[in-house]
Structure 1
Amino acid sequence: MAEKLYGGAYLSPFVDAVLDNLTSILEEDDSFLERNNLLGRLQNCLYDVGPVLDDAELKQFTDKKVKKWLVDLQDALFMADDLLDELFTKSAIAATQRDPGNSSSGSRLVDSYIEDTGDMEKLVGTLESVVRRKNYLRLKESAKVDMSWRIPSTCLVEPSEIRGREEDKEAILKLLLDDDDDADGDLSVIPIVGMGGIGKTTLAQLLYHDDKVKENFDFRGWVCVSEEFDVVKVTKTVIEAITSSSCNLTDLNLLQLDLKEKLSRQKFFIVLDDVWNENYDDWNTLLKPFQKGVKGSKILITTRNKNVASVVQTVSPHELSLLSDEDCWLVFSKHARLSTVSLENPNLEKIGRDIVKKCDGLPLAVQALGGILRGNSDTRYWNHLLKSEIWELSNDIINVVPALRISYYFLPSYLKQCFVYCSLYPKDYEFSKDELLLLWMAENFLQPVGKKTMEEVGGEYFDELIARSFLQPHSTWENKFVMHDLVHDLAMTCGGEFYFRAEELRNAVEVDIKARHLSHNAKGNYPMSNLLGVCDRLKHTRTFLELNLNEWIPFNMENAPCIMLSQLRYLRALSFKRFPLESVPDSIGELIHLRYLDLSLTDIVALPESLGNLYNLQTLKLNFCRKLKMLPVAMKDLLNLRHLDISETPLDEMPKGMSKLKNLQFLSGYVVGKREENKITELGALANLHKSISILKLENVVNISEALEARMSDKDGIDSITLSWSSNEEETTVDSEMEREILDKLRPHTNLKELRINGYRGTRFPDWVGHSSYHNITKITLDGCRSCCMLPSFGQLPSLKHLSISNFESLESVGAEFYFNKNGESCLETPQFPMLETLSIQSMRCWKEWRSLEFNGFPRLGHLTIRECPMLRGDLPNHLPSLQSLQISHCKQLSWCVPRSPAMTSLRIGGGNEVRIGELPSLLRELSIAGNHHVEAIMHMQLSCLTSLSIADCSSHIWFPVSSIPASLQKLTI
């Protein structure tokens, strides 16, 4: 047999998963196969079909009969998997309820189920019939290939590393920075035109993040327009992009007035990415608010359509050409991670260059193939890819770019199903990595290796898809990812009839009865009622996701959940996020296959006790359910629960018995109760918690032993923790020392990265708060610690970048203890707050002095904010070499001198301070002084970068000669 030199068949992991389910059942009782011939026949089918899947994977591209066979096989495998999952689940539930001494009850239950229903007989017969057809199709067995060279988790590729677009970038950059162009009016529209995958968006990203562009415009905004061009939606998105906040307006006139007002006083740069609409009236309407912007404002659009460019352009469009073979080789080499040693192999380089030529200068295809070969220097593998017959297939068979088609073909089999699953989402959808991993887990796509958790494996899968360019980092949003349109087309093609996206009614084909994965795009025009109307014949559907449902999108299908839950009994993943849902029907407990349930941002008041029947449930999302006060008592029965998200949901307390959920990997919050079954001690048994956790209502912890039993110091996977006491104006006298001891016993593991403490009732913090052993901490927030009279020693934390302190009502002085602890003998020799970048101190009513130690402190502090400290007097730290932004307000007794900080770009003073302003830094861009009774300032220095100056309600000594007003000034308020 010839060695297989590609990633593996799409169905191979599915066959393995069904075999694993069957094996789990058979292991329950060794005599199963003797008593139940049906299970043996099913096992033989699975063993028989696996070896020929690789041959079928290739032949399906040229032989429609093989393609039809694979569809029928996948449909039968879905049926088998559903039935086995039901058998396994019922047996597992029975095992949790049976007498420990009676080990045969589970196997008897399976026997009874098989005997009482004809489903198994029918299913096995169908599968046998499908498997026998492989002989008529002459499918051959192929050997497994060693995929040990597959890439590890990698960092994301930076856009700045893209090759071959330097001249294009410089040409467009010149247009963007030119304020004296020949454009009509004040607005310049610059189109970038080119075919899909040629790099238009990448080039726009390079320009959007260029430092010169950032300096030249007051603000920027990025809007992905895509095929759906709705003036209201695009206008709303522009407003949200430039304000970084949601917009609730729906009337076009009000939207445009709002946008016009926001654009009228500042120079803007807006990118409209992936534009398709060429209707002049639509564009004329859209651009009206932009016309009166500050001269030099620019709009950059990317489009595949030259007609679109001709409608909107004010300068000649910049057409992107295909990359040269040499530039493509450089891109390919980078993505393939070719080492110096491998490049010394002349055969490998020759094969690689021949592969690159087949990509016809298309960067997206080059990146994808480079990712496929990443880390592999096997000449045979490269030759096999180069000579594959898939290059020659007609696009009539699979309507995708040949290079992308072959990139998919050479994906490892474990990645193919994860990639295809992304076709459920609309084009330009912004993926969340964590959300996608949990859905993959629910669909059983993740194959744990060794001691790695499913979450860790899913993270590696995701990073591989990124490295192979099947997913890409979002242009502006951190931790968001997108899929290129051409890659999305590929995923849709590969998904076939098993995936259905309800988006556009006019273009939608009828839902195939084989569909297993459904999504409904609320922003489309496909009525939910149409989807509900076919639920009765889609009963084997595994996935339903409601997408893009926002409060401003009309929706009147409140009965949809009841209909779906009654029809779709095989669901494994269900999302009703933002659904107009007030109650969950009891029938939810009948969805025994369910692994993923998202009810976030709904109006549910309670959850039924039947939720406890969901033995397989892995993920339960209930964040921002503002009316939900209690979780069901039956929560303790969800033994396979791994992720519980209740963030921003105002629970009164946790249900009893949370300690039984030992598989929990993520618990967003724990509300401490007063009863024995829901005290903080329940956290002790949850040893596998990762990421972040908030522990609320700590006032219910009444003794040290309870805090100690939570075993927080053992949870090395927790990297962010919030410890919170509820505020209670009528609370009884608090034992301060007891509070300190309790907080001491809640000491987290030293792997911690972020710490937040709210409402702590002690007078002093325990030593661990601020201890240098917490070398990973980057962010600390202390709020509402009303009795504390001393700050912890944060100065020695080596990685602390962000510190916020607020609402300390008993703190009067900040001194040496803030910089180092009392036992620090050599502390003066090392920098204090060595990495701190932002410091915010607010609402400190009794704070009177800051005894600043002028020695090697705050070397990297860039942003300092002090607000609402009415008793603060004296001076502030004077030596802040890296300070960029300083804001002081409502500190009425503060008399101080602005520190000399050459890097300062923003100075805002307000609220009645006595201020002495000496020489201001030349880089200052924003200066605001308001409401100060005594201000001494002689501003005659050259502030050549100043763009905004505001002076109001100042009683004395403000002198700013007209001759010193810089040409850069755009906003002046006196």
Structure 2
Amino acid sequence: MAEDLPLLAGRSAATLALSLLDKAFSHLAGGAEEIYKEELLESVRRILTILDEAERRLIKWRFPSLEISIWEFTRAVDEIEDAVDEIQYHRLEDAAVRRGPVSKLVKRKILARFVPGSGLERLREAVVRLGHMASVVYRYYQRSVARRAPGVAAPSPSEHERYPSWIAADAVVGRDEEKGQVMRWLMKLPAEEAETNPVSAFAIVGMAGMGKSALAKLVHDDPQVPTNFDIVVWVKVSFEFRAAAVVSDILRSIAATEPGSSASAHLAEKLRDKKLLLILDDVWEDEMRGRWEDLLSPIRSAKRGSKILLTTRMQSVADMAATTIGGEFECLKLDGLQESDNFLLFKSLLNPDVNSEDYANLLLIGEQISKRFGACPFLTLAVVSHLRDDLKTSWTDVLQQHWYQIEGIYSILPSLKLSYDHLPARLQICFRYCSLFPRGHKFYMDKLVDMWVSSGLIPFPSREPGDSLPATDNVSILNPVDVGEEYFTALTRKSFFCRMLETDPCGGNQKEYYVLHSLLHDLAQLVSRGECARVDNGGFQDVMWTTRHISIANCGILTHERARKISYLRSLRTLIIESESCLDQETELLLGEILKSTKCLRLLQLSVPSPFHVLDRFPNLIHLRYISLISCDESHLHKIFKSYHLQVLKLSYLTAKEPDLSDMYNLRCLRSLHIPDNMSSKIHELGRLTSLQVLRGFEVVQNDGSRLSTLSNLRSLRQLGLMNLQNVQNCREAMEVKLKEKHDMRILLLSWNRYNNDTRLDDQIIGNLEPNREIQILHIHGYNGSVLPFWIANSLLVNLVSLELEYCIKWKSLPSLQELNLLQHVKLQHLFQLEYMGLELKELTDTNEPGIVCLPRFLRSLIIGWCPNLKILPTIPPSLEVLILKHVGFMVLPGIHQRESKTSVKSELTFVHIQSCAHLTSLDEGLLECQEQLGSLSILIISHCESLRHLPRNGFAALHHLKFLEMVACPLLKDGNTEGNILPISLKNLDMNPCGSIDVSMLLSLRNLSFLTKLTLFNCTNLEKLPPAEIFGTLQVLSDLSVARCRGLLSFGGLGAVSSLRMLSILCCDKLNLSDSPQGCCSFMLQELRIDCQALLFVEPLQSLRYTKELYICNDCAMESLAEGWLLQNATSLHSIKIGIAESLQSLPSQMDKLEALQSLHIERAPLMKLLPQLPASLSKLTIWGCDPMFMKQYEKDVGPNWGQVKHIAHVDIKSYSEVQE
């Protein structure tokens, strides 16, 4: 898979060498060197040319000598980079010594250590070696590749996406909702669309194998399509987008003739007055807008209401199409199938025999397999093709493997890799670097970009003469962080990174992060072999002599041999070490030896508590750009201060209470500083760190020189946090920080101690802390003044994207911020006196046109909490995605802003959380009144609104995309004004926690909720029985049911009819009738059963359970023994039994040894147990806590009389009650 890595590494090295040689020869001045420089540059350009040619011809390396020579060529480039870097380090060291407060004699001794001749000699040798290796690479290329390797045609994007021969190519499961969305767009009448453009477009965007083409085919074949369109054309677009070819394909489909030279004009004539549906399948063009214009030119002659449906892997293609086509444009991001749908697909493709009752246990394994592989339909098809005729042996093996390790399905990889091949080389290397992180890792753009830059993926440009960089006054062009952010954005637009927005339902805090799909993560690991290696419990074989970046996820696997292997890596640039616990002495020594040998490191991240002995090797690491440590003591901190190239320093914890940071000012290249709050103000001469871009937690301290004027020279700051601003002495000091002149600043935090009562200067000081107009993120915390700063009151910060105001307790009003068109996020918390925004309450309520005052038009999230006097809000814009209102004085929820000349505007709201709004009485007004506008709402949480009485008139049934509904602690709710079903059929997760009298009507509305997967009923005191089988039987995918503290519950109802149930929890339902009449047979197989009364195992449908995997019985004080019959009927599947607080338990069943699948047995607080029966041979973990001391002695290791009965168990942990208490 990594056979083309030498080519990629060689190209990157050659590109770097072209810019590096100018810098190298600036140190090797002289006429002869200049002549040799031109010869060497020409040799490197020649290497770059032949590697580009190899890439165009798609030559795969099968020439070991050539491959080794290319790796040696990259090593020669590394040696030049290291030599230049070392020379520059010693110059920085020289400058630091000259600045330091030491005697002339000491300075002379220190400076004598730097011998320019030795460094220059190493550089000269490295340059000569580069010239030699360039000649060797060229010679081997001519001998091996140029003469003997023919070019290979580029594969079609769909060449590898073929279904197995035994499957119908149109087999599609679980895409009804997505198809419905596309069909609604197709059937939309022209009158509803933009009047200026006859053509609208819809893009289906998704990763390879997600079923984009299959979904488009479903739409194409729908019988409504030919009745609504005069012409329907499907075009499979080639990898290279050529408008002429697409036009010709359309003409062939329409006229069944070969197009002539005037194909475009001919097509325009054919389409005139015809309503067209054009389906463009698998489009890649995202750069050349002119090609799109050439295609659209004849299509725009089609009749109004014509449509273009396109499928693509990349969001950037959809963006390009939207920009070029104009008019209304919609986009569907096609993610993986739901787990239940993927399992249905899995089962539908198996041999029919496997779906019989005889193989029920095997299907449980199959269900886990279908979950494991990312819900990718194409991958599921490939896995099933491997398993369909195998009735046992491979299934468990497949469950433990990565998909690309399974024999026979590796062939799907080239299709996935096409997306990677389509990336420019500079993005490919950044993508490969992501393989250092685990699956599901949350990537944050600023952190990852810092790592890219520091590891050398985006070389830090110099502004010295001879850099060959373009002369410009625009500093950002020279800033690698800006370049890295552009790369990150490009990978996101090309759908490698998926943007996620994590919203904390409790605090309302939002955090934006990015993830790689699991298949793309696997791809990154495969294409980066030989360059990157992540070492966890396995995978050390991926560490090769060419490896440049390593992440060690488990220090416990380090041995002397493995540490020595890492130490031999001459080009190692990145070393990430992770451990949740402190290292033992041997491991520390091994890591110390690694750091001693790997002298060329650029990035070191030690996510290890107290790695102090490892840090002894810091003086050797003169090339470091990035250091991240959990903790550090003062002695090692001063060693870090001698890493003069350092750009990023992250320290979570300093052991010294008053650390000496006086030498930090020598880190003149430092641009990002993350240290504990209050520490940055202790840095001596902080103003000398003129490269600093990120400074958090600068504390203003009275009478110690930590004044704002210290920051006046830090003009490169992009992010700044100022704390304890109540200690600012006067307005002059506030002005000296010169915030308004820091034009690169984008993030600013201003914080006062909110308990400070002296607010005499606050109003004046905040006015003089006006930031520059380019500021994007502003957070003000604890300001005690009563006057709003003029730069907020007048909405002067026109580029503001995010605004957070907290504990500004004296502000009574805020502007609507309507003029801030770029503002996307607003958070207002603990503004206890705030009464209105924009207009006063009377003006808002007297306004006949509710849409006249609106919040910012592009706002995406609004969080308001603990503003009890805020009675009403301006209307919210349709762009809003997240709305959180907690402890607010609203009587009515805000409405959605209506644009002029529009009868209805669609809202983008996806998440709404309303909590503790004490004056809110009805949901039938405001936001939820017109539910047809809320087509995107997927999560709705309403809790602790003690005066809330009325649901919307039609409940929530019109919220057609609602997935999660939580109704908690609204005791006065009643359903008297609701009509019909309360719940929408789209619901997947329903959480009910006592809400007045609506419990029963909510459960009756469960009928036909075919997407419901999880149902939670908590403290529903009015509930006497669960729904009947007629309702439960319609819940086709319900897999998780939890019922707790429903004290009035008497009957399970028709629970046995839920065939899809996998997790069931019944707790604290004391009135359940244990002698209830049978409710029919049990149709489900449980992964996990949780109960607090063993007697429930004798009540249907639990009595009939088979194939249960985990049983948990907690707090059953009446249980004297376990239900032997029930255990035996689940013997072939039961993996785990956990008993919690069983004070009456005296013994275990005599036939426990027949539980052939049991692996773990855990018992707590069972003081009456005397002996254990014979336990199964499969048991690997036995835990008994809180037993009688005599019982414990019976099974004491090696000496107890009954130890032989349990010695075959790998992990035995038996403790008496007294030990557990300790």
Q: Give the TM interval when normalised to the shorter protein.
A: 0.5 to 0.7
By how many angstroms is 1:725 displaced? Answer: 1.9
By how many angstroms is 1:310 displaced? Answer: 3.3
Cα distance in 2 for partners of 1:123, 1:174 equals 59
User: Tell me, what secondary structure is at the counterpart of 1:576?
Assistant: strand
Matched, 1:596 2:621: no
Cα distance in 2 for partners of 1:361, 1:566 equals 39
Relative to 1, partners in 2 of residues 1:366 and 1:952: Cα closer, same or farther, differing over 3 Å?
Answer: closer
Q: Which residue of structure 1 lines up, in the alignment, with residue 174 of structure 2?
A: 173
User: Tell me, what secondary structure is at the counterpart of 1:663?
Assistant: coil
Q: Which residue of structure 1 lines up, in the alignment, with residue 891 of structure 2?
A: 875
Q: Which residue of structure 1 lines up, in the alignment, with residue 976 of structure 2?
A: 938
- Equivalent residue in structure 2 for 1:634, among 663, 667, 673: 663
Post-superposition CA distance 1:297-320 (Å, at most 9, x none): x99773744465439999xx9xxx
- TM-score between the two structures when normalised by the length of structure 2: 0.50
Q: Any conservation in 2 of the 1:796–1:820 contact (CA below 8 Å)?
A: no
Relative to 1, partners in 2 of residues 1:272 and 1:624: Cα closer, same or farther, differing over 3 Å?
Answer: farther
By how many angstroms is 1:519 displaced? Answer: 0.9
Matched, 1:13 2:15: yes
Relative to 1, partners in 2 of residues 1:801 and 1:665: Cα closer, same or farther, differing over 3 Å?
Answer: closer
Matched, 1:200 2:200: no
Q: Which residue of structure 2 lines up, in the alignment, with residue 715 of structure 1?
A: 742
- Equivalent residue in structure 2 for 1:644, among 661, 666, 673: 673
Cα distance in 1 for partners of 2:592, 2:582 equals 23
State how 1:240-279 maps to structure 2 within 5 Å: 269=340
Cα distance in 2 for partners of 1:270, 1:578 equals 42
The gaps in structure 2 that reach 5 residues or longer are 1-6, 144-157, 180-205, 220-337, 396-410, 462-468, 502-511, 898-906, 932-936, 1010-1014, 1023-1222
Cα distance in 2 for partners of 1:799, 1:841 equals 19
- Equivalent residue in structure 1 for 2:47, among 43, 53, 63: 53
The gaps in structure 1 that reach 5 residues or longer are 27-31, 141-158, 179-196, 211-266, 318-358, 373-410
By how many angstroms is 1:896 displaced? Answer: 7.0
Cα distance in 1 for partners of 2:215, 2:685 equals 53
Q: Which residue of structure 1 lines up, in the alignment, with residue 770 of structure 2?
A: 747
Relative to 1, partners in 2 of residues 1:786 and 1:607: Cα closer, same or farther, differing over 3 Å?
Answer: farther
Relative to 1, partners in 2 of residues 1:299 and 1:69: Cα closer, same or farther, differing over 3 Å?
Answer: closer
Matched, 1:769 2:799: no
Matched, 1:479 2:553: no
Cα distance in 2 for partners of 1:877, 1:473 equals 32
- Equivalent residue in structure 2 for 1:508, among 531, 536, 541: 541
Q: Any conservation in 1 of the 2:724–2:751 contact (CA below 8 Å)?
A: yes
Relative to 1, partners in 2 of residues 1:310 and 1:431: Cα closer, same or farther, differing over 3 Å?
Answer: farther
State how 1:350-429 maps to structure 2 within 5 Å: 363-364=415-416, 367=419, 371=422
Code of the residue aligned with 1:734 in structure 2: it is: D
By how many angstroms is 1:685 displaced? Answer: 2.0
By how many angstroms is 1:682 displaced? Answer: 2.8
Q: Any conservation in 1 of the 2:604–2:627 contact (CA below 8 Å)?
A: yes
Q: Any conservation in 2 of the 1:433–1:481 contact (CA below 8 Å)?
A: no
Code of the residue aligned with 1:657 in structure 2: it is: E
Relative to 1, partners in 2 of residues 1:99 and 1:504: Cα closer, same or farther, differing over 3 Å?
Answer: closer
Q: Which residue of structure 1 lines up, in the alignment, with residue 947 of structure 2?
A: 913
By how many angstroms is 1:698 displaced? Answer: 2.1
By how many angstroms is 1:76 displaced? Answer: 3.3
Q: Which residue of structure 1 lines up, in the alignment, with residue 1205 of structure 2?
A: none
By how many angstroms is 1:90 displaced? Answer: 0.9
Cα distance in 2 for partners of 1:115, 1:861 equals 63
State how 1:306-705 maps to structure 2 within 5 Å: 306=384, 309-310=387-388, 363-364=415-416, 367=419, 371=422, 433-446=445-458, 450=470, 451=474, 452=477, 453-462=479-488, 471=496, 473=498, 479-481=514-516, 484=520, 488=524, 491-492=527-528, 496=530, 502-503=535-536, 508=541, 511-512=544-545, 515=546, 517-522=548-553, 526-527=557-558, 529-534=560-565, 537-538=568-569, 541-546=572-577, 557-578=587-608, 581=611, 585=615, 587-599=617-629, 601-602=630-631, 608-622=637-651, 632-646=661-675, 651=679, 653-674=681-702, 677-690=705-718, 692-705=719-732
- TM-score between the two structures when normalised by the length of structure 1: 0.62
Post-superposition CA distance 1:706-728 (Å, at most 9, x none): 22222222334333332222344
User: Tell me, what secondary structure is at the counterpart of 1:721?
Assistant: strand
Q: Percent same amino acid among aligned pairs? A: 18
Code of the residue aligned with 1:85 in structure 2: it is: D
Q: Which residue of structure 2 lines up, in the alignment, with residue 833 of structure 1?
A: 855
Cα distance in 2 for partners of 1:912, 1:71 equals 70
Post-superposition CA distance 1:815-842 (Å, at most 9, x none): 76569999xx999994321535654443
Relative to 1, partners in 2 of residues 1:798 and 1:364: Cα closer, same or farther, differing over 3 Å?
Answer: same
Q: Any conservation in 1 of the 2:711–2:737 contact (CA below 8 Å)?
A: yes
Cα distance in 2 for partners of 1:743, 1:311 equals 74
Post-superposition CA distance 1:130-166 (Å, at most 9, x none): 56657865969xxxxxxxxxxxxxxxxxx9xx9999x
Relative to 1, partners in 2 of residues 1:760 and 1:268: Cα closer, same or farther, differing over 3 Å?
Answer: farther
Q: Which residue of structure 2 lines up, in the alignment, with residue 149 of structure 1?
A: none
User: Tell me, what secondary structure is at the counterpart of 1:70?
Assistant: helix
Cα distance in 2 for partners of 1:423, 1:949 equals 38
State the structure with more CA Rg. Answer: 2
Relative to 1, partners in 2 of residues 1:820 and 1:313: Cα closer, same or farther, differing over 3 Å?
Answer: farther
State how 1:20-169 maps to structure 2 within 5 Å: 20-26=22-28, 32-33=29-30, 43=37, 46-47=40-41, 49-54=43-48, 57=51, 58=54, 61=61, 64-95=64-95, 97-98=97-98, 112-114=115-117, 130=133, 133=136
Cα distance in 2 for partners of 1:109, 1:557 equals 37
Cα distance in 2 for partners of 1:624, 1:169 equals 58
Cα distance in 1 for partners of 2:116, 2:973 equals 86
Q: Any conservation in 2 of the 1:441–1:458 contact (CA below 8 Å)?
A: yes
Cα distance in 2 for partners of 1:951, 1:130 equals 72
Cα distance in 1 for partners of 2:71, 2:391 equals 47
Cα distance in 2 for partners of 1:864, 1:625 equals 39
Post-superposition CA distance 1:415-450 (Å, at most 9, x none): 676566566567887765544433342344436554
Q: Any conservation in 1 of the 2:573–2:603 contact (CA below 8 Å)?
A: yes
Q: Which residue of structure 2 lines up, in the alignment, with residue 251 of structure 1?
A: none
Post-superposition CA distance 1:629-688 (Å, at most 9, x none): 757322211111122234x76747441322222222333443334466532223332222
Cα distance in 1 for partners of 2:581, 2:138 equals 55
Q: Which residue of structure 2 lines up, in the alignment, with residue 734 of structure 1?
A: 758
By how many angstroms is 1:949 displaced? Answer: 8.1
Code of the residue aligned with 1:458 in structure 2: it is: G
Q: Any conservation in 2 of the 1:432–1:480 contact (CA below 8 Å)?
A: no
By how many angstroms is 1:744 displaced? Answer: 1.7
Q: CA RMSD for the aligned pairs? A: 5.8
Post-superposition CA distance 1:23-44 (Å, at most 9, x none): 3434xxxxx548xx9x789857
Post-superposition CA distance 1:64-99 (Å, at most 9, x none): 444333333333333333233212221343245559
By how many angstroms is 1:109 displaced? Answer: 7.4
Cα distance in 2 for partners of 1:576, 1:283 equals 47
By how many angstroms is 1:459 displaced? Answer: 3.6
Relative to 1, partners in 2 of residues 1:793 and 1:506: Cα closer, same or farther, differing over 3 Å?
Answer: closer
Code of the residue aligned with 1:438 in structure 2: it is: D
Q: Which residue of structure 2 lines up, in the alignment, with residue 806 of structure 1?
A: 829
Q: Which residue of structure 2 lines up, in the alignment, with residue 29 of structure 1?
A: none
Q: Which residue of structure 2 lines up, in the alignment, with residue 353 of structure 1?
A: none
Code of the residue aligned with 2:751 in structure 1: it is: S
Cα distance in 1 for partners of 2:492, 2:557 equals 31
Aligned residues: 743
Q: Which residue of structure 2 lines up, in the alignment, with residue 760 of structure 1?
A: 783
Q: Any conservation in 2 of the 1:763–1:790 contact (CA below 8 Å)?
A: no
